[in-house]
Amino acid sequence: MDSKASLGIPSVLHQIWWSGPLPQPYAEWRAGWIANHPTWVHRLYGESEIIGIVQARAPQWLGTFNALPRMIQKIDFFRYLIVYLDGGLYADVDMISYLPCDPLLAGASCILSVEHRLNNRLQTEFGYRQPWQFANFVFAAVAGHPFFAALLEHLAKRSGLPAPNDDGVEDTTGPRMLTRLAYSLRPEQRGEIRILPQVNLNPPFFYPRLGPLARSIYARHVCAGDWRTEADSRPLGRRLTPKGPFPNPFAAGAPFLLD
């Protein structure tokens, strides 16, 4: 086992706000993460910090970073890069923290979360081997984990691909790209990945108010969608059948390893 992996995922939270002071309600949500993780290192990166880190610590990928045409694609790239470089947990600033995430990280070297369970139509449309899309708004790993090494190299080969619309972003740097890559890599290429059930980090908005479920909900993605440029562009949860967005919190409730 790699020495970094044997130490476990470090208690570092990475978050990104590209430009200017962090406004409300994002600042309040970030304060909640800090309150629930008082012993962690909390980092918030803006444009200048992101560019400086890529230039100084990952010059081999600077061309890839610069070639990405949209700001959100650069942000996607950096979120993978910083976890690869330093390890830790990445979370979008529009995530609300409810419980300390330390139990989710314990004993793992890489964690992905189910964003949604897809219906058959969307699974076929997206070309997924299994009916789960994995989130790129939250994930964690030790530094140097092979999955993120493979992901960065994948992006380096595809950075010139156009992303003419919001779906194109999801396909080139976002959750669809991440999900397809996770399914396509052999175990020896991607290393061990623990998959968390949707209820832990992406429950429907009303779940935290249901008392019995509270102990299973560590955070929730508000899905503000500030990066979206198309008025009719809808987050995945709103594209599913009525049955789709409401996962059974008691079914397959334990983490599992990607096979």
pLDDT tens digit sequence for 9-21: 999 999 999 999 9
pLDDT tens-digit series, residues 60-100? 999 999 999 899 999 999 999 999 999 999 999 999 999 99
Domain that holds residue 214: 7-257
pLDDT tens-digit series, residues 21-74? 999 999 999 999 999 999 999 999 999 999 999 999 999 999 999 999 899 999
- Output the pLDDT for position 11: 98
pLDDT tens-digit series, residues 127-138? 999 999 999 999
| Euclidean distance between CA atoms 208 and 235, whole angstroms | 20
- CATH number at 114 reads 3.90.550
Tokens 């949604």 sit at which residue?
116
pLDDT tens-digit series, residues 208-251? 566 777 888 999 999 876 766 655 455 565 554 434 456 555 44
**33-66 per-residue burial string, b: 16 or more CB within 10 A, e: under 16:** beebbeebeeeebebeebbebbeeebeebeebbe
HSE-CB at 177 with a 13 A cutoff on CA atoms is: 28
pTM of structure: 0.89
Q: Answer yes or no: is 1 within a domain.
A: no
Q: Answer yes or no: is 51 within a domain.
A: yes
pLDDT tens-digit series, residues 91-127? 999 999 999 999 999 999 999 999 998 989 999 999 9
Count of CB atoms within 10 A of residue 6's CB?
Answer: 9
Q: Answer yes or no: is 163 within a domain.
A: yes
Q: What is the mean pLDDT of residues 154-160?
A: 85
Residue 156: exposed, middle, or buried by beta-carbon count in 10 A (0-12, 13-18, 19+)?
A: middle
User: Is the per-residue pLDDT at 148 higher than 80?
Assistant: yes
Contact criterion met (CB below 8 Å) for 116 and 132: yes
DSSP string, 26-76: HHHHHHHHHHH-TTSEEEEE-HHHHHHHHHHH-GGGHHHHHH--SHHHHHH
pLDDT tens-digit series, residues 164-214? 788 889 999 999 999 999 999 999 999 999 999 998 999 877 665 667 778
Q: Answer yes or no: is 2 within a domain.
A: no
**Structural domains in the chain (count):** 1
- Output the pLDDT for position 4: 55
